């Protein structure tokens, strides 16, 4: 199903989604309700990666939404992607981060900057759900300060020799391929960094411990270790020294995905709170009839609407080929803040029930926090926005 909007005619501003966009949103909503919702509490409790559901998401085209159909993708636009991300994240943010990393960091990065051979070799498996991909930038001592890469990729003629450790890698233990940023020429600082495609099972590549997390517990987060891993030169993305700019460009798009995830976590919690408020009675009437609750719902809905507009604006700018880094950072900064505020209020509306697992909002509250951290903390988003504002 293709869903690519033609550019707006000059001077027009439309808040309407196309019929195709609505269909994609409905498909994601139906899938989330019928297949992600059953078992989501148990997967969170047991830290269980949704293996079967990943395959199913591949079948439904959710893993390579924006990839050209010639490589097995859905040929959709970023607006379609964020609509789907919101729906999946309302129910299961662990599943949606798998979707986000695979779509916007790995598939998009490979398709935009990879060679034809790399695209043909890896994209069909990534889009079908045969395997997922991982994006490896963070290190024990390089989180926000991402240029300080200690992992090295020594140039050995026809291959690189990769050594180092990557931290907090989403999909780390499951990934068929990992995009690994590593320093080839330290004298050139960030201009000496390369991005290498490393296949699972390559000798010297070890998967470290799985992290026990506050939220998104059904996702798979590991440290990865590389010890004299031989990576062919053919697996480098872009020209020599392009790795850091690759990571930054890809993260601009990734931040739209995480903003949509935060939006979904917020709107999922809000929908649960609204429903509960109409059912739960106190002082002789449904609590939705109390102004104390009405004001909460009004604030939640307003914040969510504002976040949604920012997310859609960033996605639309990307689809139109306009610069979108500032909008992506604004969308992520704001939507993640809204996710924190709205999930806390959703628990408050639920009272004691909100504090127990059965009612889902406590999970959404725990899941919300990571959206202020990964793919650039809120502080980094402010830095990116400020640099745009100042033209720096
Ligand atoms: N697009 C393309 N290139 C960019 C860019 C962008 N958005 N932003 C910066 N660059 C380029 C710059 O042009 C510069 O290149 P040149 O020298 O060739 O011009 C180079 O990158 C270095 O940029 P800066 O001088 O701005 O570098 P800096 O160190 O001052 O700051 C930063 C960069 C914005 C702080 C960056 O380090 C950053 O974004 N840090 C956060 C890292 C991050 O988001 N990590 C997330 C981990 S991935 C993850 O979470 C995935 C997951 O599992 C869910």
Number of the ligand 1 atom closest to the C-alpha atom of 168:
53
Pocket of ligand 1 contains residue 325 by CB under 6 Å: yes
Ligand 1 pocket member 373 (CB < 6 A): no
Strand, coil or helix: 142: strand
What are the residues facing 286 on neighbouring strands? 281
Tokens of 332: 């992520």
Residue 220, token pair as written in the block: 């798979």
Q: Phi/psi at 176 (nearest 5 deg)?
A: -75, -35
Ligand 1 atom 11 nearest Cα: 245
Tell whether ligand 1 has an atom less than 6 A from the beta carbon of residue 376: yes
Residue 31: which of 48, 50, 56, 63 has the closest Cα?
56
Contact of 265 with 96, CB cutoff 8 Å: no
Distances (CA, A) of 307 to 259, 337, 347: 8, 9, 20
Q: Are 63 and 102 in contact (CB under 8 A)?
A: yes
**E strand or H helix at 181:** strand 177-183
Residue whose CA lies nearest to ligand 1 atom number 49: 375
Spatial distance between the Cα atoms of 181 and 386, rounded to a whole number of angstroms:
26
Which of 172, 248, 318 for a ligand 1 pocket mutation test, highest count of atoms within 8 Å of Cβ?
248
pLDDT of residue 351: 98
CA distance 192 to 210: 30
- Integer Rg of the chain from CA: 21
CA distance 303 to 175: 35
Write the residue with the smallest CA distance to atom 34 of ligand 1: 384
Give the Cα separation of 34 and 15 in Å (integer).
29
The end-to-end CA distance of the chain, in Å, is 40
- The answer to whether the CB of 249 is under 6 A from ligand 1 is yes
CA separation for the pair 29, 11 (Å, rounded): 33
Give the span between the Cα atoms of 174 and 131, in whole angstroms: 7
Q: How far is the CA of 15 from the centre of ligand 1 (A)?
A: 32
Distance (Å, rounded) from C-alpha 218 to C-alpha 131?
A: 17
CB 310 within 8 Å of CB 331: yes
The angle formed by the CA atoms of residues 47, 48 and 51, to the nearest 5 degrees, is 155
Active-site residue, from 87, 317, 345, 375: 375
Q: What's the gap in Å between 380 CA and the centre of ligand 1?
A: 9
- Measure Cα distances from 86 to 25, 28, 260, 304 in Å: 9, 9, 5, 11
Which ligand 1 atom sits nearest the alpha carbon of residue 373?
50
Q: CA–CA distance from 197 to each of 12, 96, 231 (Å)?
A: 42, 23, 8
Measured CA to CA in angstroms, residue 72 lies from 65, 122, 130, 132, 339 at distances of 9, 10, 12, 14, 33
Residue-level pLDDT at 13: 80
How many CB atoms are closer than 10 A to CB 18? 16
Rounded (to 5) percent helix, strand, coil in the chain = 55, 15, 25
Best mutation site among 95, 146, 252 for ligand 1 pocket (most ligand atoms within 8 Å of CB): 146
Residue-level pLDDT at 2? 43
Q: Is 151 in the pocket of ligand 1 (CB under 6 A)?
A: no
Tell me the three state secondary structure of residue 38: coil
Distance 28 CA to ligand 1 centre (A): 31
* Ligand 1 mean position, distance from CA 247 (Å): 7
Helices 243-279 + 361-368 axis angle, to 10 = 160
Q: What is the pLDDT along the chain (392 residues), one digit of tens a residue?
A: 445 555 555 667 888 999 999 999 999 999 999 999 999 999 999 999 999 999 999 999 999 999 999 999 999 999 999 999 999 999 999 999 999 999 999 999 999 999 999 999 999 999 999 999 999 999 999 999 999 999 999 999 999 999 999 999 999 999 999 999 999 999 999 999 999 999 999 999 999 999 999 999 999 999 999 999 999 999 999 999 999 999 999 999 999 999 999 999 999 999 999 999 999 999 999 999 999 999 999 999 999 999 999 999 999 999 999 999 999 999 999 999 999 999 999 999 999 999 999 999 999 999 999 999 999 999 999 999 999 999 97
Q: Is the CB of 377 under 6 A from ligand 1?
A: no
DSSP strands (E only) in 211-367: 221-232, 236-237, 281-282, 285-286
Q: How far is the CA of 386 from the centre of ligand 1 (A)?
A: 14
Are 360 and 347 within 8 A, CB to CB? no
Tokens of 389: 């504002």
Query: Which residue's CA is minimally distant from atom 12 of ligand 1?
Result: 245
Mutate to test the pocket of ligand 1, among 142, 241, 245 (most ligand atoms within 8 A of CB): 245
Q: What is the CA(12)–ligand 1 centre distance, in A? A: 33
CA of 245 to the centre of ligand 1 (A): 7
How close is the Cα of 241 to the center of ligand 1, in Å?
Answer: 14
How high is the pLDDT of residue 1?
Answer: 41
pLDDT (0 to 100) of residue 7:
52
| CB atoms near residue 145 (< 10 Å) | 10
- Whether 358 is catalytic is no
Residue 70: CB within 6 Å of ligand 1?
no
């Amino acid at each position: 199903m293709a869903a690519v909007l033609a550019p707006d005619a000059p001077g027009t501003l439309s808040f309407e989604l196309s019929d195709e966009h609505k269909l994609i949103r409905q498909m994601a909503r139906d899938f989330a309700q019928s297949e992600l919702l059953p078992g989501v509490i148990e997967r969170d409790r047991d830290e269980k990666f949704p293996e079967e559901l990943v395959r199913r998401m591949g079948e439904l085209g959710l893993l390579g939404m924006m990839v050209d159909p010639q490589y097995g993708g859905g040929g959709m636009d970023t607006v379609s992607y964020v609509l789907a991300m919101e729906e999946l994240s309302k129910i299961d943010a662990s599943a949606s981060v798998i979707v986000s990393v695979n779509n916007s960091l790995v598939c998009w990065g490979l398709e935009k900057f990879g060679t034809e051979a790399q695209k043909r070799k890896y994209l069909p498996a990534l889009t079908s759900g045969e395997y997922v991909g991982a994006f490896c930038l963070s290190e024990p001592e390089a989180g926000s300060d991402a240029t300080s890469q200690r992992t090295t990729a020594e140039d050995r003629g026809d291959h690189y020799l990769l050594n180092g450790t990557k931290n907090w890698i989403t999909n780390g233990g499951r990934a068929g391929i990992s995009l690994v940023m590593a320093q080839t020429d330290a004298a050139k600082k960030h201009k000496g960094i390369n991005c290498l495609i490393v296949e699972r099972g390559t000798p010297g590549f070890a998967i470290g411990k799985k992290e026990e997390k506050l939220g998104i517990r059904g996702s798979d987060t590991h440290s990865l270790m590389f010890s004299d891993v031989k990576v062919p030169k053919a697996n480098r993305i872009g020209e020599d020294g392009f790795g850091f700019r690759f990571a930054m460009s890809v993260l601009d798009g990734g931040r739209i995905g995480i903003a949509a995830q935060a939006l979904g976590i917020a709107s999922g919690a809000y929908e649960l709170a609204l429903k509960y408020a109409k059912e739960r009675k106190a002082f002789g009437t449904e609590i939705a009839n109390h102004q104390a609750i009405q004001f909460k719902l009004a604030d939640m809905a307003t914040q969510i609407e504002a976040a949604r507009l920012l997310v859609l604006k960033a996605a639309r700018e990307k689809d139109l080929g306009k610069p979108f880094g500032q909008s992506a950072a604004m969308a992520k900064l704001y939507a993640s803040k809204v996710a924190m505020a709205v999930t806390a209020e959703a628990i408050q509306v639920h009272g004691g029930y909100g504090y127990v697992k059965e009612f889902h909002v406590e999970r959404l509250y725990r899941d919300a926090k990571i959206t202020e951290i990964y793919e650039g903390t809120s502080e980094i988003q402010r830095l990116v926005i400020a640099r745009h504002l100042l033209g720096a």
